[in-house]
Structure 1
Amino acid sequence: MDGAAERVRIPPEMALYAEKHEIFDLLQCMVRSLMVDKPEEPIEYLIELLSRGRTEVPRIMVLGPPASGKRTIAVQLCEHTKAVHITASNVLKEDTRLTREARHLRDIQKEIPCELWIKLIQQCLSKVDCIRQGWVLEGIPHTRQEALLLQEVGIFPEHVVMLEAPDEILIKRSLAKRMDPASEVDMKLEQQQGFLSEDDIASQLIKYHQEAHALQRTYKNCLKVVKSDQSQDEVFAQVLSHVQCKPRSMAPHTPRVLLFGPPGSGKSLQAALIAQKYNLVNICCGELLRAVSADETSMGELIKPYLASGEPVPDSMVLQIMTERLSRLDCTARGWVLHGFPRDIKQAKMLYEANFIPSRVFFLEVTDEVASEVVTLRAVDPITGERYHSLYKPAPSPEIEARLQHNPRDSEDRLRSQLKQYSASVPALKAMYPGALSINVDQDPHAVFETLESWLVQRVTTAGLPGVVMDVKEGGSL
C-alpha cells in the first residue's frame, strides 16, 4: 500500500455507528431472507421485512426422547419469547390439500412421506404469526433426513435444545403419565389406540437414539444438550440461558484496546504481544510524539521544544496528533492498542469527544515496590543498545556491566512523582470506564497476556462496550 493510501482518514464514528446498530448483522439478515424466500419484488419485500420492528425472531427447536419434557419446555419458551408453538399435531390441523392428504395417510396407518411432511412444516412456518413472532418446533425434526430437507427449503433454527435422560427414568415417566387419570394426556398418546407397553416405549427410545447422534451432528453449531433428569426450574434455566445467547456474529471485528498502568506495569510488552498476535496497530503515545518530532512538519517543530526540555506536550497538540494517527486506514481496518494516553480524566474525555471509544479497557495493576524494582534497576548498553536489568537480566560480564548507563528518566524521585500522579488519576478513569478489567500483573507476563486475550476474543457488542460515563469529576466522583 503506498503512502497516499496510508494517509486516508476514515471517520471513527462510522465504525462506532455500525457496531452500535449492528449494521453488518442487519444486512446479513436481509440478504439471507432474500435468498431463502426469493420474493418476486425484492425491494417491497425488504421494506416489509424492516417494517416489522425486528428482523431477528426466535427460531428454536426442542428435541428429545419421549417423556423428556419437550412439551413443558416448549410451552415455557413460547410464554417467555411470545413465539408460536408448533407441534406435529397442529401441523396437521390446517384444512389444506396437503394436510388432508397427510391425515388420510395417517388414518390408514401409513407413513407420511418425508417430502410431504417438510412441505407441511414449511406451510405452517410461512404464516404471518410465525414470521413476525418466531417459532418453537417441538419434536421436529425426527430424523437427520428431515433436518437436511428443512435446510434445503431454508428453515434454519437459531437455537436447538436437546433434552436427555436415562432410559429407565424416561420409561418410568411414560408409565406414570399413562396411569395418572387426573393429568392431561399428551397429544401423541391421545392419538394411539390403547396404552403403550413398557416394551413399546423401549422400542420408541431405541428408534430415537438411532437418530439422536445424527441430529446432534447436523445442529452442532447451535445445539445445547440439557439433562432433563433434574428439577423443571433447573432445566428451563439452562434452556433459557442458551436461547438468550446471540449466535456468533460474522461482523468484521476491529478491536480498539486501551491499556492503563503505572510505569513498570508492562504496558509496552502486553501491547506488543496483543498487536503481534492479532495484527493490531500498536500505538505508544511517547513513541508517536518522538516520531512526529523527527518529521519535518509544522506539528513536529511545535512539539520539539517540549520533548527537549522534558515538559509535557499540551493536551491539544497530543490530541491532534493522536486523532490523525487513529484515523488512518490501518487503524480503522485492523484495530489498535493504545497505551501512554490518556493519562488523566481530562485527556480521556478529549479522546471520547473525538469519537475514539475503546471496545476493551484494561488497568494493569502493580504495587509501587514492584514498579520501583522494575524501573530503577534497568539499564542499557550504549555500544550494543541491549537492555539489561540488575535482577531479571543481569549483564553477562563485568566489562559490559561497567559500561551500562541508566536513563535519568528512570530515577527514583521521578518514578515516585509519576506513581503519585497515576494513583490520583485512576479512580476517575475507572469511573469513566466502568466496564474495564483490572489485572494484577505481578505474575508471569504470559499469564497476564492470557487473561487479556480471554477478554479480547469475546464478541464486542453494544452491551459489551466499556460503558463510558462522561459526568466524572477530576476526583473520580460522579
Structure 2
Amino acid sequence: MFYTDKAALQRWETHSSTEMDATTKPLRIPPEISIYAEKHELFDLMQSMVTHLLVDKPEDPLQYLIDLLKRDSLEVPRVILLGPPASGKRTIAKQLCAYTRAIHITARSILAEDTELARRAQQHREQRQEIPSELWIRLIQQRLSKTDCIQQGWLLEGIPQSRQEALLLQELGISPDHVVMLEASEAVLFDRSHGKRVDPMTGDVYHTAYRWPRDEAVERRLEQREALSEEHMAARLLRYHREADALRRTYGNRLAVINADQPHKDVLAQVLTRVLQQPRSAAPHTPRVLILGPPASGKSLLAERIAHKYNIVNVCCGELLKAVAADKTEMGELIKPYLDSGEPVPDSLVLKILTQRLCRLDCTMRGWVLHGFPCNMREAEKLQESNFVPTRVFFLEMTDAVSVERVTLKAVDPVTGERYHSLYKPAPSPEVQARLQQNPLNSEAVVLAQLKEYWVHVSGLQAMYPDAVYINAEQDPHTVFESLESRLVGRLPKRLSERVQS
C-alpha cells in the first residue's frame, strides 16, 4: 500500500506505534491458565518432548511424540555413576537399577552388543588398541537409543571416563539428570581391591570385610578374582584422578560427590536420595502460598515477611474484608453490617471478594500468600473450585496453652498505640504499664472458643491438603520463618511413581 497523503501516513504511523507499544505491556493472562499449566507441568512436558526429539532425531517426529506420550512416565532416570576402582560402583549400580528399573549399562555390556559398531570396537580391543573416542561414543548412543533405555531409563556405570567423552556425549544430546561420583581414600581402595569376591552367577561383588553374603549358597560359590597388583592399581587410580577433576567441572551442579568409605547401606541411601530428586525446573512459577494455623500462631507475621522478601502479594482475608467495607461500594455495604455486629460474613460474599482480589494483575504476575481463609473444608473446596489452588500449604502447629498465653497477655498503650506483651515485649516503664489496655477480643474465653472452632475443622483441612508442610510455631519467629522458607524455595520432592514403588 502506498500513501501520498502525508497526514494519512502520519496517522497510520501513530496508530502502528500505539499498537506496538501495547504489545510491550504485561499480558493480562487469566489466573486459570497459569494454574492449569503449572498443575499439569505443561512447560516441563513441552521441554521434555523437544529434548527427546533433538536427542533421538526420529524419522517421523509426530508418531514419535504420540508413542512418547503413551508411556507410563516421561521422567525415567538418566544417571551416570562414576568413581575410582574398588569404590563400590558395581554394587551400588546394580541395586540402584533394581530399585528404579533403569537399564544398567557398563563398558562390557556395550561391547557385548551384536552390532557392527561393537564388532569394530572388539577388533581394537583384540589388537590391544584403544577404542577411538568417536566410535565409543557412537556405541553408547546406539545402546541408549534402544527401546528399553528410552522407556525405563538408564544408568551408565563408569562412563564417561574423560572430559572429552563427556563433551562428545553432550554434543549428541545425551545429558544425564544426575551424576554421582563416589570417593574414598587410596588406603581404603587398596584394601577393598584385595578383599574382593565375585558371585559368578550374578556378577555381584562382595568383600571379606565390608560386605559378605548372608546366603550360604552364595558364599560357597564366591570366586576370588586375581587381585590387581599394587602397581596396576596405582596406575588405574592415577588415570582416574587425572580425569576426575575435569569431569567434576563438566557436570557442575548436576554432580553429587558421595563418600564411599562408610557402611554400604548409607552410601546406597545417599545415592538414592540424590537420584530420586526432581531436576530443578526452568518453568515459570507463580508462588501461591497458603498459611493455616490456630490463633496467635504467627500467620500474619510470616505472611508479611514472605511477601516482603519475595515480592509477592500479602492477602489477609480479614484485612481485605475491612478494606472493602471501608470503600463504601455495593459489596462493602453488604458486608459492613456483619463486620459491625461481629457475625461471620457469608462464605459466598467472602469468596467473591477474595477471588476478585486474587484475579488482579499483581497476584497473577507476582503470586500471593493467603491467610485467614479457608477456615473449614467447605471453604477450602469452594476456593479450589474457583481454580485458586495453592502451590504450598503450611500448617503452623502450637498447643492451646501457648496460643492462650500469646493472646491474653497482649495489651495496647492508648496514648502511643504501641502494642506490648507481658512476656515477649514488656512495657518500658511502670507508667506505661499502668495505662495499658486489653482488647476484649483477647480474653481467654474468646481465644478458647476460637481454638475449639479451629480444632473442629483442622482435620478436614489437613485431608484437603495432604502434601502440606507442618511447622512448629512455638519456636522463635526467626526459626519458624527459616523452617518455612526452606520448604518454600524450589520444588517439593515428588512421591515415587507407581513404576518405582512396585
- TM-score of the pair, normalised by structure 1: 0.80
Separation in structure 2 between the aligned mates of residue 78 and residue 36 of structure 1, nearest angstrom: 23
Deviation at 1:75, TM superposition (A): 2.9
Separation in structure 1 between the aligned mates of residue 344 and residue 325 of structure 2, nearest angstrom: 14
Separation in structure 1 between the aligned mates of residue 93 and residue 199 of structure 2, nearest angstrom: 23
Give the 3 Å change call, closer, same or farther, for CA 232–430 of structure 1 in structure 2. Answer: closer
Q: Give runs of aligned pairs for residues 205-354 of structure 1, distance below 5 A.
A: 205-230=237-262, 232-354=264-386
Aligned residue number for residue 204 of structure 1:
236
Separation in structure 2 between the aligned mates of residue 273 and residue 361 of structure 1, nearest angstrom: 15
Deviation at 1:8, TM superposition (A): 5.7
Residue deviations 1:119-171, cap 9 Å, x none? 22222222333223322212111112211221122111122232333333433
Aligned residue number for residue 47 of structure 1:
66
What is the aligned counterpart of 2:182 among 160, 163, 167? 163
Q: Which amino acid aligns with 2:233?
A: I
Q: Which amino acid aligns with 1:204?
A: R
SS at match of 1:245: coil
Separation in structure 1 between the aligned mates of residue 231 and residue 63 of structure 2, nearest angstrom: 55
SS at match of 1:257: strand
Q: Which amino acid aligns with 1:166?
A: S
Q: Give runs of aligned pairs for residues 124-139 of structure 1, distance below 5 A.
A: 124-139=143-158
For structure 1, which segment, 139-148 or 156-165, has the greater mean C-alpha deviation from structure 2 after superposition?
156-165
Q: CA RMSD in A?
A: 3.7
Higher-RCO chain (CA-CA 8 Å, sequence separation at least 6): 1
Gaps of 5+ in 1: 188-193, 465-478
For structure 1, which segment, 199-208 or 416-425, has the greater mean C-alpha deviation from structure 2 after superposition?
416-425
State the identity %: 59
Deviation at 1:446, TM superposition (A): 1.5
Q: Which amino acid aligns with 1:341?
A: F
Q: Which amino acid aligns with 1:241?
A: T
Give the 3 Å change call, closer, same or farther, for CA 167–185 of structure 1 in structure 2. Answer: farther
SS at match of 1:65: coil
Are the equivalent residues in 2 in contact too, given 1:19–1:461 (CA < 8 A)?
no
What is the aligned counterpart of 1:449 among 481, 487, 495? 481
Deviation at 1:247, TM superposition (A): 1.7
- State the number of aligned residues: 453
Q: Give runs of aligned pairs for residues 348-367 of structure 1, distance below 5 A.
A: 348-358=380-390, 359-365=392-398, 367=400
Q: Which amino acid aligns with 2:68?
A: L
Separation in structure 2 between the aligned mates of residue 444 and residue 9 of structure 1, nearest angstrom: 39
Give the 3 Å change call, closer, same or farther, for CA 296–374 of structure 1 in structure 2. Answer: closer
Residue deviations 1:380-409, cap 9 Å, x none? 556x65545566556667887788765554
Q: Which amino acid aligns with 1:360?
A: V
Aligned residue number for residue 16 of structure 2:
none
Aligned residue number for residue 193 of structure 2:
174
Deviation at 1:432, TM superposition (A): 4.2
Q: Which amino acid aligns with 1:363?
A: L
Q: Give runs of aligned pairs for residues 76-115 of structure 1, distance below 5 A.
A: 76-94=95-113, 98-115=117-134
Are the equivalent residues in 1 in contact too, given 2:317–2:370 (CA < 8 A)?
yes
Separation in structure 2 between the aligned mates of residue 242 and residue 347 of structure 1, nearest angstrom: 38
Give the 3 Å change call, closer, same or farther, for CA 284–114 of structure 1 in structure 2. Answer: same
Deviation at 1:42, TM superposition (A): 3.8
Separation in structure 1 between the aligned mates of residue 187 and residue 115 of structure 2, nearest angstrom: 41
Deviation at 1:282, TM superposition (A): 0.8
Give the 3 Å change call, closer, same or farther, for CA 185–357 of structure 1 in structure 2. Answer: closer
Give the 3 Å change call, closer, same or farther, for CA 463–233 of structure 1 in structure 2. Answer: closer
Aligned residue number for residue 168 of structure 2:
149
Give the 3 Å change call, closer, same or farther, for CA 375–348 of structure 1 in structure 2. Answer: farther
SS at match of 1:318: helix
Q: Which amino acid aligns with 2:30?
A: I
SS at match of 2:253: coil
Separation in structure 1 between the aligned mates of residue 190 and residue 296 of structure 2, nearest angstrom: 65
For structure 1, which segment, 403-412 or 215-224, has the greater mean C-alpha deviation from structure 2 after superposition?
403-412
Deviation at 1:428, TM superposition (A): 4.2
SS at match of 1:29: helix
What is the aligned counterpart of 1:64 among 62, 83, 94? 83
Gaps of 5+ in 2: 1-21, 206-225, 497-502
